[in-house]
Structure formats: structure tokens, C-alpha cells
Chains A and B, each alone.
Chain A
Amino acid sequence: MQKTYSRSFDQIQEIVADTERFFVEENIDESLRMKVDLSLEELFVNMVSYNTETERDILIEMQPIDRGIEVSLTDFNVERFDPTCVSEVDIDAPLGERTPGGLGLYLVLKMADSIHYQYHDRTSKITFTNSVKEG
């Protein structure tokens, strides 16, 4: 699956519907859906929110892998931002010190089995995988 989406949170509903369809068509284990939906939304929202100097659509690609799925998001004409290098969130901090910021990418790093970042010619590409563990 390869499809572009405009830079709006309103696109999340369509992304979810497309992901659901892809899972059914490729017979991907439904137990991975929550993790994939979450990582996809967090990365898409991050691109929409912080790469504001471009109006280009965001490309999302999905392909089945052994017992799972590989998902890529590509953002064009943007500055480098490597989501795999974000600072840790202190999840043990007391309520008064907790803020919502940074939690999205932190969750992606926790949910994805692997995550890879490429930056070339002002193009950011983030690829993550999720698969069912054996046994």
C-alpha cells in the first residue's frame, strides 16, 4: 500500500480505515493493530505539527513482512528531525512535573519492534516494524 495524505489531523480517520483494510487484505495479525495505529498516528501528527515549512503531502507505505508489518512515513522538503533520538520521558515523575509533551514519540519507541530514520535531500523517512512474537 502506498498513499499520500494531506497535512491535517482530519486525515487520521482515513489512515485508520486504510490500515484496517490493509490488515484484512494481507491477513496481518489483528493483535498488532493497536500498536501500528498508535505509532502511525504519533509519527503522522509529529510531522504535521512540527514540519510546518512545507505543504507537501505525507507519503505512507505499508508492506507485509514475516508475521507482521513494515510501515514507512515520508515527509518532503523538511529539516532533519530524528524521532529515534528524542530524550527519555520520566514516567516515574510525580503529577506536578508531568507534561503531555514528548509522550507520543516515547510511546512509538516502546511500541515498535524496530524503528529506522533516514534523511536525504530534505526528505525524512521513518520506518517501523511490528510482528507477532514466536511461541
Chain B
Amino acid sequence: MFEIGLKDNGEVIVSGRLDAAQAEKAQQFLDTVGDRCVLDMSGLEYISSAGLGVLLRTHKRLMGGDVGLELINVNKHIADIFRYSGFDKLFVIRTI
């Protein structure tokens, strides 16, 4: 189960498992974001390379406008995957 939506404060919130079966849903939503985007990952349990691809494509698009994607409330397991992937050098990441 994967969910993505907007919080009242304008941040994007994701929860559940962002795997290859859910990547398209996430990409479609994030493609509608046109400004600096804060992604609240407090409810995200799992991410695979398909999900990392979604984040990378979105970040690159937003960085074209000098803004980018900021990842907040990242749990330890997902922070490890970001570190293994080198994403910790590409994104602003705030862990829980």
C-alpha cells in the first residue's frame, strides 16, 4: 500500500511502500509539483530503486528551476538506502 498527497502546510507526504509497482503513481503526483518541494517521509516504510528513480527525476527537474526536493522525517532504514545510493550527497535529507 502506497499513498501520496498534500499536507495542509503544502508539504507532500508519502506513506507505505514505494516499489516498482507504485513508482508511476508517485511520479505522476510529483510531476504536478512546480516549486520547491518538501517531501515528508515519516510514513514511508520502504523504497526500492524504482522509488529512488522517481525522487532523482523530480529533483533534477526542480533543480532546473534552482529549487529541488527536500526529504524530511526519513527513517534509519531508508536513510541507509540513500547513503548506499549516494543520494545523501544529492539531496537535503533530514532524518527522524
Are A95 and B60 in contact, CB atoms less than 8 angstroms apart?
yes
Are B85 and A103 in contact, CB atoms less than 8 angstroms apart?
yes
Are B17 and A16 in contact, CB atoms less than 8 angstroms apart?
yes
Are A100 and B46 in contact, CB atoms less than 8 angstroms apart?
no
The list of the 6 closest CB pairs from A to B, nearest first, reads: A91-B86, A100-B53, A104-B49, A9-B21, A103-B49, A45-B20
Bitwise interface map of B from 33 to 70 toward A, beta carbon under 8 Å scored 1, else 0: 00000000000001011101100110110010000000
A42 to B49, CA, bound (A): 7
Interface set of B (CB-CB < 8 Å, partner A) = 17, 19-21, 46, 48-50, 52-53, 56-57, 59-60, 63, 77, 81, 84-86, 89-90
Q: Which stretch from A33-41, A55-63, A122-130 is at the chain B interface? A: A33-41
Asked if A45 meets B17 with Cβ closer than 8 Å, knowing A34-B77, A107-B81, A110-B84, the reply is: no
Report chain A residues within 8 Å CB of B89.
91-92
Residue among B17, B48, B60, B77 having the largest count of chain A Cβ atoms under 10 Å: B48
- Interface residue A12 (Cβ < 8 Å from any Cβ of B): yes
Are A98 and B90 in contact, CB atoms less than 8 angstroms apart?
yes
Are B57 and A13 in contact, CB atoms less than 8 angstroms apart?
no
Are A38 and B56 in contact, CB atoms less than 8 angstroms apart?
no
Report chain A residues within 8 Å CB of B49.
42, 100, 103-104, 107
Interface of B: prevailing SS:
helix
Asked if A41 meets B19 with Cβ closer than 8 Å, knowing A107-B49, A107-B84, the reply is: yes
Interface set of A (CB-CB < 8 Å, partner B) = 9-10, 12-13, 16, 34, 37-38, 41-42, 45, 89-93, 95-96, 98-100, 103-104, 106-107, 110-111
Asked if A103 meets B20 with Cβ closer than 8 Å, knowing A37-B46, A38-B81, A98-B90, the reply is: no
Residue of A nearest to B91 (CB): A95
Residue in A41, A91, A110 whose beta carbon sits within 8 Å of that of B48 in the complex: A41
In the complex, how many angstroms separate the beta carbon of B26 from the nearest chain A beta carbon? 13
In the complex, how many angstroms separate the beta carbon of A66 from the nearest chain B beta carbon? 24
Residue of A nearest to B53 (CB): A100
Are B63 and A95 in contact, CB atoms less than 8 angstroms apart?
yes
In the complex, how many angstroms separate the beta carbon of A99 from the nearest chain B beta carbon? 8
Are A107 and B85 in contact, CB atoms less than 8 angstroms apart?
yes
